[in-house]
């Protein structure tokens, strides 16, 4: 079964049926703002279906080391974006230009700390100051639904982490990192960690204080002083 999941169509069907693909879209809706984004690097893009949910006009480049996913992505979505068989490193910016958003959906939990840290470091090196890093992964947390815990334990990715562990991975190179933990993104019980990071620390507006946030989810935030806080968060407001 695990090998079969490497086949592009079956992988996407499983993602869709389980609600895991929809979870990515909900995370985009809640934690990403594409306004001002000109170029996206999608590291570990898989079969590339996410490109259907990237606003037109944004230059999209997907990287994956699995040629079957990239062949499928180019066949289906090659007119809309570029998909390349390539392990991501910072030289990608020399070849494709500087991105202002880097995505890693469902990828970090396939990488050990050394590999993940090297990729995150390269991402930080090539992003401009206004750029964002965004990752979504399965996440352990205490008291989580046993089905969620079982699925995470048996995931193909052997490096599922807790929210503070995802945060520590990224916070070493991104002064502003936030990890949002969500149990409500898929119909199959599953805990997601959404990691959002940038190189400059944006000041919080009065409107964004914890007490004024209506739909709250647990999250951890680390600022430039390295302080981890438990807090509450509501999805970003759209104009």
Residues 6 or more apart whose Cβ sits within 8 Å of residue 122: 88, 89, 90
Choice from 80, 82, 110, 217 touching ligand SAM (CB under 6 A) = 110
For residue 27, state whether it binds ligand SAM (rule: CB under 6 A).
no
What is the size of the binding site for ligand SAM (CB under 6 A)?
17
Compare residues 186 and 222 and give the one whose CB is closer to ligand SAM: 186
Query: Can you tell me the distance from the alpha carbon of 184 to that of 75, in angstroms, rounded to the nearest whole number?
Result: 33
Angle formed at CA 91 by CA 88 and CA 93, multiple of 5 degrees:
90
Compare residues 130 and 153 and give the one whose CB is closer to ligand SAM: 153
- Shortest Å distance, C-beta 104 to ligand SAM: 7
Interaxial angle between packed helices 113-126 and 163-171, expressed in degrees from 0 to 180 and rounded to the nearest 10: 50
Contact 65, 43 (CB under 8 A): no
Residues 6 or more apart whose Cβ sits within 8 Å of residue 143: none
Letters for 154-173 (x = contact with ligand SAM by CB under 6 A, - = none) are --------------------
Choice from 87, 91, 147, 212 touching ligand SAM (CB under 6 A) = 87
Q: Contacts with ligand SAM in 201-220 (CB under 6 A)?
A: none
Q: Give contact residues for ligand SAM (rule: CB under 6 A).
A: 15, 24, 43-46, 63-66, 69, 87-88, 105-107, 110
């Amino acid at each position: 079964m695990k090998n079969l999941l490497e086949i592009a169509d079956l992988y996407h069907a499983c993602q869709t049926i389980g609600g895991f693909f929809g979870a990515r879209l909900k995370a985009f809706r809640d934690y990403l703002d594409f306004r001002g984004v000109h170029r996206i690097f999608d590291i570990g893009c898989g079969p590339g279906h996410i490109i259907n949910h990237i606003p037109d006009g944004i230059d999209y480049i997907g990287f994956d080391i699995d040629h079957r996913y990239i062949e499928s992505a180019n066949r289906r979505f090659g007119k809309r974006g570029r998909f390349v068989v390539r392990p991501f490193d910072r030289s990608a910016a020399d070849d494709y230009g500087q991105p202002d958003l880097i995505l890693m959906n469902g990828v970090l939990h396939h990488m050990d700390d050394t590999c993940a840290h090297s990729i995150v470091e390269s991402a930080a090196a090539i992003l401009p100051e206004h750029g964002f890093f965004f990752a979504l992964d399965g996440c352990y947390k205490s008291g989580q639904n046993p089905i969620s815990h079982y699925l995470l334990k048996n995931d193909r990715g052997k490096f599922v982490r807790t929210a503070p562990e995802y945060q520590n991975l990224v916070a070493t190179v991104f002064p502003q990192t936030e990890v949002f933990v969500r149990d409500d993104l898929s119909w199959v019980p599953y805990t997601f960690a959404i990691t959002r990071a940038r190189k400059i620390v944006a000041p919080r507006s009065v409107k964004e204080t914890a007490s004024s946030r209506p739909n709250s989810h647990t999250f951890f935030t680390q600022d430039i002083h390295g302080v981890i806080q438990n807090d509450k968060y509501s999805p970003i407001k759209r104009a």
